[in-house]
């Protein structure tokens, strides 16, 4: 979880992420975020920007559920050269898998994303651009987390769940 919540690492694992900032975040990682994505290399299609509210919930099923929903804030103007995109529901679910002895054997990651990229992109182009995003992002997150064996301060509250 420390890799997921450490914004300094986000560009290393989130596919096409150009920039990411936490505008307001509490100690449980709930808050308001701003993300900018470079679409199709930025050659023909304008970058997409999201203004999101993130909610983090630890469930009784050994899960951590992280939801993102778009919000409006008049103070947060759309960046130059960007189109504001909307997500009604993007949810990451991290499930702590344990063996019969209760020993942690890994983490299952589920991702569901529903978004409107805005602008005048055809659905076919959106699907083509987004097709590999989930697999690439999850794969990169897993590789980076495996590489970073040490738990940072950010992730300590999730240890032992």
CATH number at residue 92: 3.30.530.20
Q: Cβ(53)–Cβ(71) under 8 Å?
A: yes
The string of pLDDT tens digits covering residues 71-115 is: 998 888 888 889 999 999 999 999 988 888 888 888 899 999 888
Average pLDDT over every residue of 134-159: 72
* Nearest Cα residue to 160 out of 111, 102, 109, 110: 102
Domain containing 154 equals 2-158
The set of residues, in sequence order, having a beta carbon less than 8 Å from that of 28 and lying 6+ positions away, is 56, 157
CB 113 within 8 A of CB 129: no
Between 41-45, 117-121, 130-134, 138-142, the lowest mean confidence (pLDDT) is in 41-45
Total number of domains in the chain: 1
pLDDT, tens only, 24-34: 999 999 999 99
**Averaged pLDDT, 116-144:** 84
| Strand 82-84 versus strand 47-58 pairing type | parallel
What's the pLDDT score for residue 130? 77
Higher pLDDT, 26 or 118: 26
């Amino acid at each position: 979880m420390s890799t997921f919540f450490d914004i300094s690492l986000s560009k290393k694992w989130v596919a096409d992420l150009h920039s990411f900032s936490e505008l307001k975040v509490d100690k449980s990682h709930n808050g308001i975020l701003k993300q900018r994505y470079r679409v199709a290399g930025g050659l023909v299609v304008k970058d997409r920007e999201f203004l999101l509210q993130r909610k983090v919930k630890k469930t009784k099923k050994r899960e951590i559920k992280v939801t993102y929903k778009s919000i409006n804030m008049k103070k947060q103007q759309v960046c130059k050269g960007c189109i504001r995109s909307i997500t009604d529901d993007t949810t990451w679910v991290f499930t702590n898998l344990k063996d019969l002895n209760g020993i942690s054997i890994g983490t299952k990651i589920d991702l569901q994303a529903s978004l409107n990229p805005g602008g005048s992109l055809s659905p076919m182009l959106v699907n083509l651009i987004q097709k590999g995003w989930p697999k690439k992002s999850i794969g990169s997150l897993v590789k980076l987390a495996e590489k970073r064996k040490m738990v940072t301060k950010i992730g300590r509250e999730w240890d032992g769940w």
